[in-house]
């Protein structure tokens, strides 16, 4: 029996408005007259409910999904059946999530920030992992099935329902079922699916969050599905160059067509995504949106790594400083295991200064900088910074307990000949990655006081410097004669910082 708006199901749930419809069911916003609260109700289509096998699968799956209790899964509140007892129409009552779908959020913003994209991928993966532990495979992971609540958190919905309502594979009775934009190769070929199928679809969702579009287009859904089977995923770094090699590596593995190369389970994917989120936060020096909440939820084992204070405006942080766990050393080990495109260490990343001109500097253009004075920071070694030989290095003095005993130290690059330079990027190469630094500029002379006196910062407040770090400089087209690499924190377990090369680009 059709249930129009205004119908009272089981003398309790009043259907107030239709909010969605699919091939197998319709979703309504409803009002629970007993507990006086809004709920969402998914009502199975009558013609589908007439199939006894489908009806029993729906009932069985509803019971299974009701056991899922996870902050990133839309909760099941109740289930029932409406109509003729001999031909009932089942329904499931869910918590009502006020907000928008992830698909709507992507469309509204064109694409999401890298930090927010990774954060949502983590939340979705955690939800999938919880379902997989109970042997429930979603089979229809897509941004339309992810709700973003008023607090900005992701909640996955339609768990298991797609599984119960259609046959294995891409088609049933000659009909294409649902969108194929996120379909895994094994689904498209009608093969058996497992949790890895959901991880592939999540990888496609992550690609869309980062780029604003799905990877494959075609004349029809069958053509799109076959591209998932036969074609490589487009290079995400080509579509969005600021995506790191580490994140590209995670995306490549999540969407591997060969199951042996794909992440074996959600736990493995989550671990790599958490490392990427922590590293992206360190690299940019700030974090916004839902990424702040996810950073707070990183496991204790990760929080013992490289700490970074991240200022947030979210109320949940009460205007304070969030100590974030970062894993520079662990990330380097992680990156070193990747051998395919987009999966190498920083040494294999295409130069970020492509299209820019290298600023020519003499070896004497570098000098050490210690605002306290004394013997300085190995002033006789500074020529190694500009000699073009990565085997020679300049180093700071050694500090006990891996702690600087001052606000910072660094090196100054003299670019004053010719009236200075409006540099757009700096590359810092180091055999001791993981230290924190920022880049400052001055018009002329050499201020001998610590920043900010006499200096202007042109980089992020804190850059987690990798082996071959590319740092964008906000000089606004102004020429500066002095560029200071200001080191404020040593890498974990290190007593000094070594730098082999510093390059400027304009």
Contact present, 446 and 367 (Cβ < 8 Å): yes
CA angle 486, 491, 495 (to 5 degrees): 90
DSSP string, 441-487: EESSS---S-TTTT-EE-S-S-EE--TEEEEE---TT--BSEEEEEE
Contact present, 323 and 233 (Cβ < 8 Å): no
* Residues shown for the chain: 506
Place of tokens 């749930």: 13
CA angle 195, 200, 201 (to 5 degrees): 100
Distance between CA atoms of residues 466 and 468, nearest Å: 5
Contact present, 319 and 342 (Cβ < 8 Å): no
Contact present, 117 and 219 (Cβ < 8 Å): no
- Nearest CA among 221, 228, 186 for reference residue 204: 228
Contact present, 224 and 217 (Cβ < 8 Å): yes
Distance between CA atoms of residues 73 and 290, nearest Å: 16
Q: Which of 16, 78, 140, 474 is catalytic?
A: 140
Is 464 known to be catalytic? no
Q: Which residues pair with 15 in a beta bridge?
A: 30
DSSP string, 208-255: HHHHSS-S---SSHHHHHHHHHHSPPP-HHHHSTTS-HHHHHHHHHHT
Q: Which residues are catalytically annotated?
A: 140
């Amino acid at each position: 029996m059709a249930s129009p708006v205004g119908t009272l199901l089981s003398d309790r749930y009043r259907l107030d408005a239709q909010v969605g419809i699919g091939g197998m069911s319709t979703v309504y916003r409803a009002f629970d007259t007993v507990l006086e609260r809004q709920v969402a109700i998914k009502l199975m289509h009558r013609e589908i409910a007439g199939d006894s096998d489908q009806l029993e699968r729906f009932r069985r799956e509803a019971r299974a999904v009701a056991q899922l209790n996870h902050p990133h899964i839309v909760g099941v509140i109740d289930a029932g059946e409406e109509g003729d007892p001999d031909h009932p129409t089942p329904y499931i009552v869910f918590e009502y999530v006020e907000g928008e779908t992830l698909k709507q959020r992507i469309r509204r913003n064109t694409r999401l920030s890298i930090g927010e994209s990774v954060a949502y991928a983590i939340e979705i993966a955690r939800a999938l992992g919880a379902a997989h532990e109970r042997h429930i495979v979603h089979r229809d992971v897509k941004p339309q099935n992810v709700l973003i609540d008023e607090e900005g958190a992701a909640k996955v919905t339609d768990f298991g329902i797609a599984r119960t309502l259609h046959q294995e594979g891409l088609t049933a009775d000659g009909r294409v079922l649902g969108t194929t934009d996120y379909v895994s190769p094994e689904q498209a070929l009608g093969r058996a699916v497992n949790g890895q199928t959901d991880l592939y679809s999540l990888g496609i969702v992550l690609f869309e969050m980062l780029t604003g579009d799905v990877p494959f287009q075609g004349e029809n859904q069958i053509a799109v599905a076959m591209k998932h089977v036969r074609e490589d995923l487009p290079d995400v770094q080509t579509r969005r160059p600021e995506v790191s090699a580490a994140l590209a590596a995670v995306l490549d593995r999540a969407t591997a067509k060969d199951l042996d190369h794909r992440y074996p389970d959600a736990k493995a994917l989550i671990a790599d995504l958490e490392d990427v989120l922590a590293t992206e936060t360190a690299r940019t020096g700030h974090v916004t949106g839902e990424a702040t909440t996810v950073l707070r939820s990183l496991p204790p084992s990760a929080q013992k790594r490289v700490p970074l204070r991240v200022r947030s405006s979210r109320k949940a942080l009460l205007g304070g400083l969030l100590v974030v766990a970062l894993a520079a050393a662990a990330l380097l080990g992680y990156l070193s295991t990747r051998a395919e495109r987009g999966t190498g260490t920083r040494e294999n990343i295409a130069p970020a200064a492509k299209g820019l001109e290298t600023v020519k500097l003499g070896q004497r253009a570098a000098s050490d900088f210690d605002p306290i004075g004394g013997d300085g920071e190995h002033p006789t070694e500074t020529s190694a910074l500009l000699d073009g030989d990565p085997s020679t290095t300049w180093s700071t003095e050694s500090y006990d307990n891996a702690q600087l005993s001052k606000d910072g130290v660094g090196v100054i690059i003299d670019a004053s000949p010719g009236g200075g330079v409006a540099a757009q990027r700096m590359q810092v190469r180091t055999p001791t990655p993981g230290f924190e630094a920022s880049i400052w500029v001055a018009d002329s002379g050499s201020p001998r006081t610590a920043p900010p006196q006499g200096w202007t910062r042109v980089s992020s407040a804190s850059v987690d410097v990798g082996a071959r770090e590319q740092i964008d400089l906000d000089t606004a087209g102004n020429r500066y004669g002095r560029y200071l690499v200001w080191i404020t924190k040593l890498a974990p377990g290190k007593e000094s910082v070594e730098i082999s090369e510093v390059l400027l680009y304009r």
